[in-house]
Amino acid sequence: MNHDQLQLSVDALLALAVTEAEAREMAELPSLNEMNRAFEPSTAFQARIERVIRKNDKKERRRKTRFYIKRTSTVLAASVALFSCVMLPVRAVRQAVVETFIEWRDKFSSIVFSSKDNAVTELPGTIELEYVPEGYQLQETVSFDRSFFNLKYTNNTTNYFSVSITVIGDNYVENVDNEHSQYYSLEFDGNQALWVACQDGSNFLIWNKDNLAYNVSGSLDIAELVCIAQGINFS
Amino acid sequence: MLMIYLSLLETEEQKNKFEMIYHKYAGLMYHEACAVTKDHFLAEDVIHETFLQLIRIIDDVRVDNSKELAQFIKIITHSRAVDYVRKLDHVQPEEDEVLATRMAQTTPDPETIAVDSESFERIVNEVMQLSEIYRAPLSLKIKGYKIEEIAKILELNSQTVKVRLHRARKILLASLEESYES
């Protein structure tokens, strides 16, 4: 057995191990030419693809109609929320260096926070929650590069909630379903937030403050999520 | 069949890129899809889904290095195949189970690690057995893709990508700790 040891950073070790694993797996495969010769799509498959693509085109046209109707109503709601920010006292307006956009895509929307102020590069500390609903226990803590922190709580059933805080940097994107969800504007403690209510009963509360993007989500009702959001502190 | 896919692309550059991938790697995709689904017709469905996915992300696909491109195609086909089989079998993703069994939640990561050939071999094997939901984002991150790019490629939220990268790291480090203890 070889006892010689190498001192490596964790990232370097993982990169080496993943690269080695991939190289071994690729080496075990037949050549590309052999694999290409073995691939013969059936005529039934070809016909199926043509039918699927024609069906998708019709579905796409119907979805676009619903999509534009829904987007118009939600952009109006978001505009009211942004406009209300402009009506805040002058000091608060000067502090609004983060612009909020909602980009509508096929099945989801991208909530984009775009910041002109890159002074904040790290989270100010770890998250602490003043309020945790009864019966919920901390299941997992995730931190990434000191720019992302996430807490996940569950109770003994399938109910859960999650709190994430991310440094916005140049921009921050949160993708949320828009096919089976309703969007509302909501204010708490001076924060203008977006509330996404999903058909499956889950809720998302998304807002930004001091160049940090906040996301409180879970299977709880919105009132509970707001209580959790109000109790977020840094230690 | 290629013409059907090309009709979904807009620019000549996109079409040329897709055509190269189709001609060179369709067989690799089929081989990978068959390895997961164990069925020719399901593998065809997976390939079709993967081609549609490639069309969606065609601008983000890097074609400079053929070896890395082959690995990239393998990763996304494998990931798509696993999702497909899971949906067919109505199986829930295994994230929570892995969380319960393999996570070292309290100890911070070391800055450096001493590795010998035996522990390196162990971690390579662990990578090969790592669940697809962790392996795919980890492989793409090591290839230099940004979090947002990985999220777009794997059709995930960028927060989910960060969480899975964090968990992949923890699982592999836990495995290394076990090897030292034994």
pLDDT tens-digit readout, A19-67: 999 999 989 998 888 888 888 777 777 776 677 667 666 766 776 777 6
- Per-residue pLDDT at A226: 92
Contact A8 B67 (CB under 8 A): no
Cβ(A107)–Cβ(B67) below 8 Å: no
Domains B1-107 and B108-182 share a fold: no
- On the question of pLDDT at A230 being above 90, the answer is yes
Contact B99 A140 (CB under 8 A): yes
**A156 vs B: CB within 8 A:** no
Average per-residue pLDDT in chain B?
82
**A19 vs B: CB within 8 A:** yes
* CATH fold of the domain at B108-182: Arc Repressor Mutant, subunit A (1.10.10)
Contact B25 A32 (CB under 8 A): yes
Degrees to nearest 5, angle at CA A27 with A26 and A32 = 70
Range scoring the smallest mean pLDDT among A27-36, A209-218, B171-180: B171-180
In terms of pLDDT, which residue wins out, B84 or B178?
Answer: B84
How many helices (H) and strands (E) chain B has is answered by 9, 1
What are the backbone angles phi and psi of residue A176, rounded to the nearest 5°? -135, 140
* A window 200-219, beta carbon within 8 A of B: 215
The Cα-based distances of A68 to A63, A106, B148 in angstroms read 9, 11, 26
Range scoring the smallest mean pLDDT among A30-34, A42-46, A206-210, B171-175: A42-46
Cβ(B2)–Cβ(B22) below 8 Å: yes
**A234 vs B: CB within 8 A:** no
- On the question of pLDDT at A86 being above 50, the answer is no
* B window 48-77, beta carbon within 8 A of A: 48, 67, 70-71, 74
Q: How far apart are CA A137 and CA A200, in angstroms?
A: 22
Contact A144 B28 (CB under 8 A): no
- Kind plus residue range of the DSSP H or E element containing B12: helix B12-37
User: Has this prediction a pTM greater than 0.80?
Assistant: no
- Kind plus residue range of the DSSP H or E element containing A216: strand A212-218
- Per-residue pLDDT at A88: 43
In terms of pLDDT, which residue wins out, B157 or B33?
Answer: B33
Mean pLDDT of B162-169: 89
In terms of pLDDT, which residue wins out, A105 or A16?
Answer: A16
Domain map (residue ranges) of chain B:
1-107, 108-182
**What ipTM was predicted for this assembly?**
0.79
Burial of A73 from C-beta contacts in 10 A (0-12 / 13-18 / 19+) = exposed
What are the backbone angles phi and psi of residue B101, rounded to the nearest 5°? -105, -30
Specify the CATH number of the domain B1-107.
Answer: 1.10.1740
Residues in chain A: 235
**B87 vs A: CB within 8 A:** no
Cβ(B99)–Cβ(B167) below 8 Å: yes
Cβ partners under 8 Å of residue A8, min gap 6: A16, B112, B113, B115
- Per-residue pLDDT at A185: 85
- Per-residue pLDDT at B103: 46
pLDDT digits (tens, 9 = 90+) for A155-179: 877 889 999 998 887 777 777 776 6
Contact A50 B4 (CB under 8 A): yes
The tokens 């921050």 sit on which residue? A172
Q: How far apart are CA A220 and CA A203, in angstroms?
A: 7
- Per-residue pLDDT at B132: 86
Q: How confident is the model at residue A181 (pLDDT cuts 50, 70, 90)?
A: confident
**A138 vs B: CB within 8 A:** no
Using an 8 Å CB-CB cutoff, list chain B residues near A141. 105
- On the question of pLDDT at B99 being above 50, the answer is no
Q: How far away is chain A from the Cα of B28, in angstroms, using its nearest Cα?
A: 6
Range scoring the smallest mean pLDDT among A101-115, A201-215, B20-34: A101-115
Is residue A174 helix, strand or coil? strand
Contact B114 A5 (CB under 8 A): yes
Mutate which: B124, B148, B167, vs A, most A CBs within 10 A = B124
- Per-residue pLDDT at B96: 43
Q: How far apart are CA A168 and CA A97, in angstroms?
A: 11
pLDDT digits (tens, 9 = 90+) for A97-134: 566 666 666 566 677 777 766 667 788 887 889 999 99
Q: How far apart are CA B88 and CA B91, in angstroms?
A: 8
Nearest CA in chain B to A25: B128
pLDDT digits (tens, 9 = 90+) for B123-150: 899 999 998 889 999 999 998 898 888 9
- Per-residue pLDDT at A87: 44
